[in-house]
Amino acid sequence: MIFTIIIFIAVLAVLVLAHEVGHFVAARKFGCKVEEFGFGFPPRILGWQILKRKKLEKVGEIETVEVSEADLQLADGREVLQEVVRDEVREIDKAVEEKEKKIFWGSKNEAFSEDGGTIYSLNWIPLGGFVKIKGEDGENRSEPDSFGYKKIWQRAIILAAGVAMNFFLAIAIFSGGFMVGMPQAVEGDMSGAKIANQETIINLVQDKTPATEAGIQLGDGVISVNGEAIKTVEQLQNLMNTNTGKEVAVELKRGGENLTVKITPRYSDELKRGVIGVGLVQTGTVSYPWHLAIYRGTVMTGSLVKEILWAFGGIFRDLFMGHKPAVDVSGPVGIAVMTGQVAAMGWVYLLQFIALLSVNLAIINFLPFPALDGGRILFLIIEAIRRRPINQKIENAVHNIGFALLMILVLLVTYRDVVHFVTK
């Protein structure tokens, strides 16, 4: 349980920090002052900031000679010309920018200065991070380093940069995985690929089936049935159908160990054959040359985007028509449980799961709903059409209501997840 919580927090931190880095880089690129970049959420443990100031630095000396003339009257009434020579050395200085790193504890900005740079803070709640951009809530519109001062297209890019970074994270994970070798379903066009260690993997375990009764788990690899080595998904399905109603010995690979379970296939009226209640996929360790790996990583990310959008479309369609959604929705608890299960399968599977969650986060954040990045971009579009800013109090109120609704939804889904896993 503790391992699952630690892994879940680490995964969430990676996803949220990648998103916030996108906002941070884009804001700095367009000249916005980033007041704080937080690791985790407040209250703050400590913060550090680079303070800037200027000092005079001696770069050399210069000798000057000053000659002046003056009339001098003697005591006897005569006048003479007097020459005065002054010789002095002057220093040559230049203004030099000096930086000083200040570290301070707690929530107060003891070291904060308008001339200082971004505050980098470490906070107590380790669930990702945040970026605080000057003027992000509509204040300081007249100041050039404020978010509100920037052009509409610049603000849109800053808002969309977080979503873009989550897509790039997924592409990077998949591309890197394909370079070193990554488990993947062996199907479709595999040209240019090197495939090793092919296995028949269980990728779904249905409740209240022979599989759950036998203790089969997600990610188990099927080695043999009654001593017969399993090479393909079709072979395993045929063996289960042939032995409907008969107990068979199934040898599994789980982690670094092999174990044998006894299981009795049941006849399925829906499928018209004997089943044990699992989903199967033929996998192998697939690798590509680096240029094909980047291409394949990008293609896989695009395929995930398509599938997730299709799933969201199905959910909204079912809700609109009053049907129960065909796709299940999980909250933080459900995702944490899945993270623990995937982590137990190995770090490569965990990285793939992070990429999947990153794409999910990007798509959800880009939805045109208040409080989300997509909702804020929608307000920018409205501002562009109206050719004048929307009343900031109204926009902030809408975003606050949207955030409250999102929190209520998260609580409801979390409650459902807790009930599901407690009663399971």
Rounded distance between C-alpha atoms, residue 356 and residue 307, angstroms:
11
In this prediction, residue 11 carries a pLDDT of 84
Predicted pLDDT at 156: 95
| H or E element at residue 166 | helix 152-180
**pTM of the model as a whole:** 0.72
Residue 203 lies in domain: 194-287
Share of the chain above pLDDT 90, in %: 20
CA dihedral 181, 185, 189, 195 (to 10 degrees): 40
Q: With a cut of 50, which residues of the chain have pLDDT below it?
A: 111
CATH no. for residue 199? 2.30.42.10
Asked if residue 114 belongs to a domain, the reply is no
Q: What tokens were used for 332?
A: 């933080």
**Dihedral, CA of residue 262, residue 267, residue 270 and residue 276, to nearest 10:** 0
Kindly state whether residue 249 falls inside one of the protein's structural domains: yes
Residue 350 is predicted with a pLDDT of 82
Whether 317 maps to a domain, the answer reads: no
Structural domain count, the chain: 1
Say whether 334 sits in a helix, a strand or coil.
helix
Q: Is residue 358 part of a domain?
A: no
Per-residue model confidence as pLDDT tens digits over 386-417: 888 888 888 889 988 988 888 887 777 777 76
CA distance 57 to 98: 10
User: Quick check: is 416 in a domain?
Assistant: no
Domain assignment present for residue 258? The answer is: yes
According to the model, what pLDDT value does residue 43 have?
Answer: 86
Residue 162 lies in a domain: no
Domain assignment of residue 58, yes or no: no
